[in-house]
Amino acid sequence: MIQHHLERIYAIDPGCRAEQFLVTDPLPANTPMQNVPEEQLLVCEEGAEIGLGLYLSAGLLGRLRKDDPLTRLHDGNFADLCLVIEGVSHFLCVAWHASRDRPVTCLELELQAEIDKYILALLLAARQGHGRAPRGLHGRLFGQFHLAPDLDHATRQRYHRANGYAATYCAHLERRHLRSGGVRALLRELRRFYRLQQHAKLGHIKRRRQSH
């Protein structure tokens, strides 16, 4: 269902479903993380072929079945929703770029996932009758995020960059489109942005930052 929402927002069809690549068995002990995450995109490149797997822990999926944020989003299931959005966003972004023989960087994946969390949370809140923008959503996503302590310096820097760029872009979307209820214009902007190359995306955000 998360993939369906993202595909409709961005008007894309990668030709595959995340469910077909879902892995729920525990990750092996040699996974290069001291704190094994509950969500992780697994990528294996062999020549021109790309193998994908989307790991979502059985515990995470079990919690979401018992307390489905697509039915009722609240503080208790918000973090779990964000984990699933991040994983599906990564999967969709890699699959879409691969279908067009376009490269995609880790920074671009993290940036897009942060944007997707914000947009989907807003849309779910609106659909569930809680208004267009839940109070404090921007600050919660972009001002209160925490990183695993075992991440290396380069990875931490990448996450911080993605968070900063996404915070600027989503603040622009809120000022320009969400407060006025301009859904069609918002979708046009999101779809155009999704299709840009990374350097164009970052340049687009920097111009929004300078113009504010």
The predicted-structure confidence for 115-165, as pLDDT tens digits, reads as follows 999 999 988 888 887 554 566 888 888 987 788 888 889 989 999 999 999
Output phi, psi for 71, to 5 deg.
-95, -45
d(CA 173, CA 189): 9
pLDDT the model gives residue 49: 77
Which residues in the chain come in under a pLDDT of 70? Answer: 27-36, 130-135, 179-181, 211-212
Classify residue 25 as left (phi > 0), alpha (psi -120 to 50) or beta: beta
Listed residue (25, 24, 93) closest to 65, CA to CA: 24
pLDDT the model gives residue 148: 80
Tell me the residue type at 194.
Answer: Y
The whole-angstrom distance between residue 188's C-alpha and the CA centroid of its chain comes to: 18
pLDDT the model gives residue 181: 65
